[in-house]
Amino acid sequence: MIEIKKSICPYDCPSTCGFLMEVEDGRIIRVKNDPDHPVSCNGICRKTQHYEKDIYSKDRILTPLKRAGAKGSGIFAPISWEEAVREITDRWKAIIEESGPEAILPWNYSGVMSDIQRKCGDAFFNRMGAARLVQTLCSPAKGAGYASVAGKTGCLDPHELMDSDMYIIWGSNMAATRLQALVDLNRTENRGKRKILIDTYANPAARYFDETICIKAGTDGALALAMMHVLEEEGLSDQAFLLDYTEGYGVFRETLAAYTPEWAQEETGIPADRIRRLAREYAAAKAPAIILGSGNSRYGNGGMTVRLIVILSLFTGAWKQPGGGLCGCTPIDRPYVDMDRILRPDFRKNPARSLNINQTASALALSGKDAVRSFYVYGGNPANTVSNQEGVIEGLNREDLFTVVHERFMTETALYADIVLPATFSVEQHDIYRSYGYCTLGTAWPVIDPPGECKSDWDTFCLLARAMGYEEDYFKQTAEEMLLDILNHPTAAVEALPEDKKKILKSGGSIAMPYSDHLKVGTPSGRFRIVNEEMAEPVPRYIPSYGNKREETEGTKALASEMNSDENRYPLHLIASPSVYTLNSEFRDREDLLKGRGPQKLIIHTEDAAARGILDGEEITAYNDLAAVAFQAVVSDRIARGNVVCEGVYRRDQCRGGKAFNALTHERLSDLAEGTTMNDNMVEIRRLTYAGQ
Ligand SMILES: Nc1nc2c(c(=O)[nH]1)N[C@H]1C(S)=C(S)[C@@H](COP(=O)(O)OP(=O)(O)OC[C@H]3O[C@@H](n4cnc5c(=O)[nH]c(N)nc54)[C@H](O)[C@@H]3O)O[C@H]1N2
Ligand SMILES: Nc1nc2c(c(=O)[nH]1)N[C@H]1C(S)=C(S)[C@@H](COP(=O)(O)OP(=O)(O)OC[C@H]3O[C@@H](n4cnc5c(=O)[nH]c(N)nc54)[C@H](O)[C@@H]3O)O[C@H]1N2
Ligand code: SF4
Ligand SMILES: [Mo]
């Protein structure tokens, strides 16, 4: 008999789709979209249409493993959970005794984007007093830039975009990352509405839009300022809205005179008259929506760039109109889940040092009394996803570092573990999921039993807690009890829901939450803050990214002095774009998906390639002070000159020379929120030459 069960997509994706799973004899035989789900009624992406292939992959880790060869050799022997837990906790007790709990560094990021399984480790490591990981890998500069202007105001939920009359898709590869919204944008009702992509290259979503404007990496702030210059110069800004709903407009407006389209042309590479036309088109629309991706926030000036784009979205008063304003930041303006019940900040008795996730290599290189002595990785793959990949590997290779990795697959990181613990898939665990791209909330009960000896993060932390002697009741609950505890202690947002929606949450499924009121401005004054006195730079202005810094000016000295790259030596901006076939380092077990992606490629402008004698399809090396990495060249004229783009995260062992993209990225942080600057690195490229050539 076939049973149909509901589940929720756990991956780091703004859609948080719902699944219907066909289960026969305890085995998932088919995965479909849940047509009742507010977002996945549009369908699910190619990655999860065969989610069962990942769940039943032959590559899954099914038992705890202990290293039986050199670090990185991949030689492991199976052990029991009892042995694994004893070994881990004996080592931890000794380390805590000798060096204190801060010598243990947990590392967790976006493997599963739920609240319980993803976050339960915080309670455990709070109780332990371990070092804290500053989790700013994805796009924190975007969040901070948005909040500096809009505070807690919710931006547009993508469903509201049906009412917009023009779309500017700004730095988002929607074909990969916002598929459901892309489908909505292309519905019949939206035909004829202008759709313009502003991106470093014509990404895979470009063909769904009317036009692509290619921009030099990291210069979007200059474009936004020049657009506002034109709006002011031509009397197109909405004075009444700016005076009623914002603060600091007068002061900021004075600064706009200098940001002419001709000036911006120099920075961005976009012709001045195109900038003028774009500003006029934007002003002529009644309810234009800017759909802001994360790409342009991953720069040394990323926070400022986002501030300027958010301010631009206010200039024509679009926020007053249904569908007008800004989409792509957080649409949620109130808590859906009482997170402290899961995180348990009260368990922490010591302040503990903080180490930034983007500087994992540096953290693992600390020595003496500051050394990290044990590294516990769950829901992440630092050996591939963070900056300075070679530095991270060097750290993981340290004989005196005791590394535990809780994983579903033998990732680059797991290869260096002393102990590997087998992890469950989302369909084998209880959880609650808040979307980060829509106003939705959902709960999921397990669909199948875990295979082999796989255990969830929750169950693993409870086992480790018992062996560490932690007596708190928290660690004696099951994940289901935790889920019920959350549902029994609803936040005001959930309490206010009608009974039928609450019932869905109690039995497993997803619901739409109300959109936020975009004009109920969530700042202390109730106005958007164009000028924000709480910021280090109260009045927003153009600051160049690391890669675009040509000369040192007062105020940028600190940034400039951190620059390792020299414009002339490394003239090309290296950018990471998401792949439609994979999601960060997930789905790399899937031959069918990998086939579509091919080898690690680098997209290069025709003239940049010609200047270096590089032909389409040739093997090339990209290099800078950190490393040299092999790519296959994709020569194109649909990319801004000076930019080079790689789509997707590749397995190191599938790259020639064993190095992937992040071997070329520095540990420098963004201007706001200590975020990644993954897109703000310079390289030079050359044809790959072999010995003797
Ligand atoms: N299939 C798939 N889906 C994914 C992911 C994936 O890897 N694959 N990743 C997931 C994750 S972790 C996240 S955070 C979200 C992100 O999803 P979004 O927030 O929608 O952002 P991205 O699509 O990552 O944005 C990348 C785009 O930004 C562009 N870009 C880079 N620098 C600049 C710049 O300076 N200016 C401009 N204008 N554009 C720039 C890149 O060229 C690229 O097209 O997507 C998630 N969804
Ligand atoms: N070159 C390049 N680098 C990037 C990006 C890029 O586009 N290009 N994207 C960046 C972005 S936006 C992000 S958010 C980061 C993401 O970086 P990471 O958080 O490191 O994400 P993943 O690579 O997806 O690794 C997640 C791992 O968690 C495991 N996992 C899944 N579910 C569970 C679970 O329930 N329990 C446990 N214990 N493990 C589980 C998966 O098997 C997978 O190996 O990468 C960043 N790095
Ligand atoms: S990865 Fe994104 S688009 Fe694909 S099913 Fe999951 S939430 Fe939906
Ligand atoms: Mo991300």
Give pLDDT tens digits for 638-664. Answer: 999 999 999 999 999 999 999 999 999
In angstroms, what CA-CA distances link 223 with 131, 277, 572?
41, 12, 20
Does any ligand 1 atom lie closer than 6 A to the CB of residue 158?
A: no
- Of ligand 3's listed atoms, the one at least distance from the Cα of 180 is 3
3-class secondary structure, 185: helix
- Of ligand 2's listed atoms, the one at least distance from the Cα of 586 is 24
- Of ligand 1's listed atoms, the one at least distance from the Cα of 293 is 19
Q: Which of 31-40, 169-178, 554-563 has the lowest mean pLDDT?
A: 554-563
Q: 110 CA distance to ligand 2 centroid (A)?
A: 5
Q: What token pair was written down for 270?
A: 């976009």
Does any ligand 1 atom lie closer than 6 A to the CB of residue 303?
A: no
Choose the final residue of a domain: 17, 32, 55: 55
Same domain for 359 and 508?
yes
Give pLDDT tens digits for 41-64. Answer: 989 999 999 999 999 999 999 999
CATH code of the domain covering residue 624:
2.40.40.20
Confidence at 558, pLDDT banded by 50, 70, 90: very low
Tell me, what's the pLDDT at 565? 42
Same domain for 452 and 565?
no
Give pLDDT tens digits for 350-398. Answer: 999 999 999 999 999 999 999 999 999 999 999 999 999 999 999 999 9
Choose the final residue of a domain: 479, 512, 545: 512
Give pLDDT tens digits for 21-31. Answer: 999 999 999 99
Distance CA 609, CA 638 (A): 13
Q: Could you tell me if 217 and 605 are in contact, meaning their C-beta atoms sit under 8 angstroms apart? A: no
Same domain for 275 and 253?
yes
Tell me, what's the pLDDT at 204? 98
Residue 539 forms part of a structural domain: no
Distance CA 443, CA 506 (A): 8
Q: Could you tell me if 479 and 430 are in contact, meaning their C-beta atoms sit under 8 angstroms apart? A: yes
Instruction: Tabulate helix, strand, coil % of the chain (nearest 5).
Output: 35, 20, 45
Q: Residue 468's Cα: distance from chain center in Å? A: 33
Residue 148 forms part of a structural domain: no
Same domain for 392 and 496?
yes
Q: Could you tell me if 622 and 590 are in contact, meaning their C-beta atoms sit under 8 angstroms apart? A: no
> Which ligand minimizes its atom distance to the CA of 585?
2
Confidence at 691, pLDDT banded by 50, 70, 90: low
Confidence at 690, pLDDT banded by 50, 70, 90: low
Q: Name the strand (E) or helix (H) holding 686.
A: strand 681-687
CATH code of the domain covering residue 190:
3.40.228.10
Q: Could you tell me if 370 and 102 are in contact, meaning their C-beta atoms sit under 8 angstroms apart? A: no
Give pLDDT tens digits for 663-683. Answer: 999 999 999 999 999 999 999
Same domain for 189 and 131?
no
Residue 693 forms part of a structural domain: no
Choose the final residue of a domain: 36, 55, 74: 55
Give pLDDT tens digits for 442-493. Answer: 999 999 999 999 999 999 999 999 999 999 999 999 999 999 999 999 999 9
Same domain for 107 and 160?
no
Q: What's the Rg (C-alpha) of the chain?
A: 25
- Residue ranges making up the domain that contains 657: 554-687
Dihedrals phi, psi of 653, to nearest 5 degrees: -75, -5
Residue type, 599: P
Tell me, what's the pLDDT at 22? 98
Same domain for 607 and 672?
yes
Question: Which residues are CB-neighbours of 43 under 8 A, at least 6 positions away?
Answer: 33, 180, 183
Same domain for 320 and 191?
yes
Among 167, 302, 252, 268, residue whose Cα is nearest residue 640: 268
**What domain count does the chain have?**
4
Sheet of 18-24: strand order equals 2-8, 18-24, 27-33
Does any ligand 1 atom lie closer than 6 A to the CB of residue 178?
A: yes
* Arithmetic mean of pLDDT, 188-195: 96
Residue 385 forms part of a structural domain: yes
- Of ligand 2's listed atoms, the one at least distance from the Cα of 583 is 24
Does any ligand 3 atom lie closer than 6 A to the CB of residue 402?
A: no
* Arithmetic mean of pLDDT, 535-540: 98
Pocket test for ligand 3, best of 31, 41, 48, 113 (most atoms within 8 A of CB): 48
Residue 284 forms part of a structural domain: yes
Tell me, what's the pLDDT at 561? 44
Same domain for 485 and 380?
yes
Distance CA 518, CA 497 (A): 20
Same domain for 387 and 488?
yes
Pocket test for ligand 2, best of 51, 115, 118, 408 (most atoms within 8 A of CB): 408
Q: What percent of the chain has pLDDT over 90?
A: 96
Dihedrals phi, psi of 301, to nearest 5 degrees: -115, 20
Among 125, 75, 106, residue whose Cα is nearest residue 404: 106
Q: At what angle do helices 220-233 and 272-284 cross, to 10 degrees?
A: 60
**What residue has token string 């997707």?**
648
Output DSSP code: residue 513: P
* Arithmetic mean of pLDDT, 537-554: 83
Tell me, what's the pLDDT at 550? 67
Residue 543 forms part of a structural domain: no
Question: Which residues are CB-neighbours of 449 under 8 A, at least 6 positions away?
Answer: 26, 428
Confidence at 605, pLDDT banded by 50, 70, 90: very high
624, pLDDT greater than 50 = yes
Give pLDDT tens digits for 117-146. Answer: 999 999 999 999 999 999 999 999 999 999
In angstroms, what CA-CA distances link 156 with 130, 443, 627?
38, 23, 41
Confidence at 560, pLDDT banded by 50, 70, 90: very low
Q: 139 CA distance to ligand 4 centroid (A)?
A: 6
Distance CA 418, CA 255 (A): 57
CATH code of the domain covering residue 34:
3.30.200.210
Same domain for 629 and 568?
yes
Residue nearest to atom 5 of ligand 2 (CA): 584
Residue nearest to atom 39 of ligand 2 (CA): 379
Residues with a CB atom less than 6 Å from ligand 2: 12, 109-112, 117, 137-138, 378-381, 385, 406-409, 411, 423, 457, 576, 578, 584-586, 649, 661-662, 678
Same domain for 113 and 223?
no
Question: Which residues are CB-neighbours of 381 under 8 A, at least 6 positions away?
Answer: 411, 412, 413, 584, 585
Q: 207 CA distance to ligand 4 centroid (A)?
A: 24
Question: How many beta carbons lie within 10 A of that of residue 492, not counting itself?
Answer: 9
> Which ligand minimizes its atom distance to the CA of 586?
2
Residue 564 forms part of a structural domain: yes
Question: Which residues are CB-neighbours of 245 under 8 A, at least 6 positions away?
Answer: 314, 319, 519, 521, 527, 528
Residue 692 forms part of a structural domain: no
Does any ligand 1 atom lie closer than 6 A to the CB of residue 111?
A: no
Distance CA 34, CA 37 (A): 5
Pocket test for ligand 2, best of 296, 299, 381 (most atoms within 8 A of CB): 381
Q: Residue 310's Cα: distance from chain center in Å? A: 19
Distance CA 414, CA 400 (A): 16
Pocket test for ligand 3, best of 6, 9, 21, 37 (most atoms within 8 A of CB): 9
